[in-house]
Chains A and B, each alone.
Chain A
Amino acid sequence: MRQLTPSVADYLIPREPFYRPVADEVSLFQHAWNAQLPVLLKGPTGCGKTRFVSHMAWKLGRPLVTVACHEDLSASDLLGRYLLSGDETVWVDGPLTSAVRHGAIVYLDEVVEARKDTLVVIHPLTDDRRVLPIDRLATVLSAPPEFMMVVSYNPGYQSVIKELKPSTRQRFVSLEFRYPPPDLERDIVVAEAKLDVDRAARLVKVGEKIRNLTDRGLEEGVSTRLLVYCGKLLAQGVEARSACRAAFTRTLTDDRDLGRTIDEIVADYF
């Protein structure tokens, strides 16, 4: 029987991803990795969770396997499956299995989107056993010390109903992410978008005001990622109001009145 697993080189992060620490998350993560503890990241969309994980994978020199979770994700999507090739079956590793084999960091993005019964497969990996039983291969993989499980979710638009089971949740140490404080966010926009400090600062203020509308019309506030996008448009020489309209207004809402409000907030600063 043949077995296929993707090569480790595909998952290595070649260059340092830009990341500005907000608090002690870098050292906490590093200690968690040393202590072989799984980590849960929570925070609103676009506040830097994924970037943080790539940064840490690079820093720790580990390959990073990312799985975007969704409702139809099944256990075999994670573990792997048999395929037919001619008269023989071929086992193809799923992302979780190959991460365990390579001692990688596996990152389950938006983990609550996956169904609860699917998530049960990660349980043996996330306690002190650190093993991955694969029934269909009749084997139990032991995770090497470098292996680490990281999951993320966004408590903002997920309701209380869509929650992790306590039995899943209590296997993790949790790091909470928020939008960075204004000065830091400004530096991030400056660095990522290559924008001047003055306009970056104004963008960040626009962002702050728009975030005031969260739950008052907007489902979620404007993300740092969108601020960076807008900054990139500005750095390209796009006129401020139309850049903001493209990056914020049209992206955040289809509601005409709300859109006008966002335009007016932009006009407060540009």
Chain B
Amino acid sequence: MPPWARDVAPALSLLRADAAALRAWFRYRAAIRDGIGEAEAEAYGRLVAKVARHDGELARIVAVTIPDHLARVPAGRRSVYFSLLEEIGATRPEALSLLARTLPDLVDALDDEALRSFVRQGVLLHEESHQKAESFLKRESGAALAAVNALNGGVALAEVSRTLTLYARAHCGEDVQVRPGKGRAFSDGHHVYLPEVIEQFGDERDFAMYRVLTAIGAGYLEFGTFDLALDQLPAPLGGWPDVRDDESELERWFRSFSNRSLARELFQLLEDARIEAHLGAEYPGIARDLAVVGAAMRGSRPEPTGAAARAVEALARRLWALEELALDPSVSEAIAPLWTLSRSLGTLAVTDVARAVQENYPTIEALMLRAQPSAPPRSQGSERIRLPGEGATPPEATFQPPAMGTRIAPEAAGEPERRAEAEARALREAAAARGEEITLAEARERRREGERRRESLADATAFAQMEAMLERHAPPGGALVDAGTAVGGASATQATGIPQDPDVTATGRNYVYREWDCTIDDYKPQWVVVREARLREGDRTFVDEVMERERHHIERLRRTFQALRPEGRTRVRGQPDGDELDIDRVVRGVVEGRVTGERSERVYSRTLPERRDVAVAFLLDMSSSTNEATAAGGKRRVIDVEKEALIVVAEALDAIGDPFAIYGFSGYGREHVAFYVAKDFRDAWDDRSRQRVGRISFKMENRDGAAIRHATRKLAAEPARSRLLFLLSDGKPLDCGCDHYYDRYAQEDTRAALREARKAGVHPFCVTVDPTGPAYLKRMYGDVGYCVIDRVDTLPAQIIHVYRRLAL
């Protein structure tokens, strides 16, 4: 059967139900087939057709919603995604579009069975209220978290990761971050990786386990595991292995052993025991928790047969105070020195442990060699005997690590961490060359210090460039012109057949604007319909993440903004109370008093600081091209960068109390320019507003001119002395919904709209997040201020700078 034949049946049923649904389906089907897969495209068609049989309009919504979210579902889970949607489509179709949006995040968090059960609970709630079901399915409500926990059992890392990150930072005083470790717990010296869920006990002990694991992971930093420096250890025969740039000292040290796994296990065991001893001494609470969860952490112990493996296991059991292993005298003897050492671990440093491992490693390795006479020793140019399979674990040395113990895993460090580490080592060597002895930890701190300085220098350079640019664009003045005429109401929306956007609440009024047509050198009156809609509140995670990650930045901006206070003062006279007597008024008052018997009390003058009087609107391009990655920012999408910058700046603006608004725009065709309100001037910058910003996502086209005209209209209605309009876009006005809004026509219209804004007393400023921005920008934005930024992180700083210049 040819591919198109499969499409006939759904197409026909859609055609009978709803023409718009058919159009949407037509548009996305091919995209899904090409981008995701045949099976998915078919499932999509089937689902849309099924829904269309009951409800044409709903089918349309589902047809539009699914493609956006399908891509977020991991390949292996797409069949579950569709089968759940089909199931709910049959029982409660009203919840379908909500599910289509929320499921992609859920399939990651729950296994199939738990997922089905969770979704069914959510759909039950939907019968009560859509809102409740939404926050449940997004796992925002307490009921949802409880349900997830009950289904998963235990504690989910997602719920506690921020608490644990802060906890780890408090312990070790460094900027470590807790991350999910795909079921395992380990630390690379920069991150503490933890299992996604702990469900050993099903009660508060699960959290205690997280806590202990975090404390140990942070303990590696707190008590210096990663500060091991080879020059403080006796060098092996033949010297240390050559330095590799991308390798930590610990890795290099492991490399100096013929059997790395054995050395590693010995070190891990003793080092963990050392950390636990230090933790117990420092934190009585951890010692208490460790006693409770320790047994579960160690797991059931094996009975290894090989002599070396037995030695390691025996040592482990002794260290953990578990039932002892019966040992050969030779094995017992081999571990005796380490056992003796382990009793004073609470006072030792990592170097002592490493030295002890180095000293005792040969005896334990010898146990293994004796048991393995068949393995022919290989000479490698030195007198040392190496075991075959360097790096791989010979069967003899296999040791079962504790079921839940944290591992020291410097090899897990990512590329930036490795680079940082190499730089720190270089700093340390440079210091040593100057005759200055610093530890690795101090070198790391110096490196960070330098980085901070460089960052602020980069900010300063960006500032200077912006300053110079602004000098060329003096703020304009002018009179208000007719911005547009309001027409129609929400009813127009229904008539147009444009699918209801799941991201907005009820659509507001429609507005009609003119448009500049450069081909006729005139305005086309009443040409474009702008439909204003309020965004729904979205997911918190985006906003929370930004606020957490950009914490320092926000704080710094907030202070910068607070410092933007105007220093000017005005003197007001005739006050009942004040700094100084106003002699003129005193004299007048006395005279009046003599004449009339009544005298004015208002004889003081006082100085008042000047207040800034400014309103600012941010207008965000939400067209599909903002879904592209930024050229400089790696994987990050333009739209996310814009959102992030907005959140940061909004936090700062809120701190000084200047009124601001956040709008987005997209649309398709001249009758459907969508204007999204995330925060209006009258809205408070609260969690709801933040969540609405979180909801901003890329949509369709961008007809910049109309959106600028509408934003201008809204700004002009604000009673402020200066009004700023920031246009954040990719610099490519384009509306494929009509056949001429591109290239020159679109640019000229944008330019005209900006000119109108200036005349209306609004200072527009355009920020283009794309260093490869097109060459016509200068022409398009030419007579208003604009900038093209390549480093997205500087966006907030740039905005502030413009703000300082224009708002004061």
Residues of chain A touching chain B, judged by Cβ–Cβ distance below 8 Å, are: 71-72, 74-77, 81-84, 87, 89, 115-117, 136, 159, 161-162, 205, 209-210, 212-213, 215-217, 219, 257-258, 260-262, 264-265, 267-270
Contact = CB atoms under 8 A, between A and B. Distances in A.
Contacts of B590: 87
Given A74-B579, A269-B284, A210 B170 contact: yes
Contacts of B283: 268-269
Given A161-B559, A216-B169, A261-B166, 17 more contacts: A76-B579, A84-B586, A159-B559, A161-B563, A209-B171, A210-B170, A212-B169, A213-B166, A213-B170, A216-B175, A257-B162, A257-B163, A258-B162, A261-B163, A261-B167, A265-B170, A268-B283
Interface residues of B, number: 38
Contacts of A269: 283-285
17 contacts: A71-B609, A74-B579, A75-B579, A76-B579, A83-B581, A89-B586, A117-B569, A159-B556, A159-B559, A205-B282, A213-B166, A257-B163, A261-B164, A261-B167, A262-B170, A264-B163, A264-B167
Interface string B171-203: 111010000000000000000000000000000
B245 interface: no
Nearest to A116: B567
Interface in B555-590: 555-556, 559-560, 562-563, 565, 567, 569, 579-581, 586, 590
A81 B580 contact: yes
B647 interface: no
Interface of B: 160, 162-164, 166-167, 169-173, 175, 211, 215, 282-286, 551-552, 555-556, 559-560, 562-563, 565, 567, 569, 579-581, 586, 590, 603, 607, 609
A101 B211 CA distance: 61
Contacts of B166: 213, 216-217, 257-258, 261
A117 to B, nearest CB: 8
Contacts of A83: 581
Contacts, number: 86
Nearest to A260: B163
User: 9 closest A-B pairs (Cβ-Cβ)?
Assistant: A161-B563, A261-B166, A268-B283, A268-B285, A159-B559, A212-B173, A76-B579, A257-B162, A260-B163
A117 B569 CA distance: 10
B163 A77 contact: no
Contacts of B559: 159, 161-162
Name the residue in A82, A213, A257, A260 with the highest tally of chain B Cβ atoms < 10 Å from its Cβ.
A257
Main secondary structure, interface of B, reads helix
A81 B579 contact: yes
A209 B555 CA distance: 22
A227 to B, nearest CB: 15
A84 B603 contact: yes
A268 B286 contact: yes
Contact of A217 (B215, B551, B609): B551
Contacts of A87: 590
Nearest to B171: A209
A162 B172 CA distance: 31
Contacts of B169: 212-213, 216-217
Given A74-B607, A161-B560, A265 B167 contact: yes
Contacts of A77: 579
Contacts of A116: 567
Nearest to B569: A117
A159 B563 contact: yes
A174 B163 CA distance: 39
Name the residue in B166, B173, B562 with the highest tally of chain A Cβ atoms < 10 Å from its Cβ.
B166
A249 B283 CA distance: 19
A219 B609 contact: no
Nearest to B210: A264
A210 B169 CA distance: 9
Contacts of B555: 219
Given A210-B170, A213-B170, A217-B166, A268 B579 contact: no
A267 B285 contact: yes
A71 B562 CA distance: 12
Name the residue in A216, A219, A267, A269 with the highest tally of chain B Cβ atoms < 10 Å from its Cβ.
A216
Nearest to A72: B609
A233 B202 CA distance: 35
Contact of A215 (B286, B552, B562): B552
Contacts of B603: 84
A262 B579 CA distance: 46
B581 A89 contact: yes
A210 B167 CA distance: 9
Given A159-B556, A216-B175, A217-B551, A82 B170 contact: no
Contacts of A162: 559, 562-563
B358 to A, nearest CB: 33
Contacts of B160: 260
Nearest to A71: B609
A87 B170 CA distance: 65
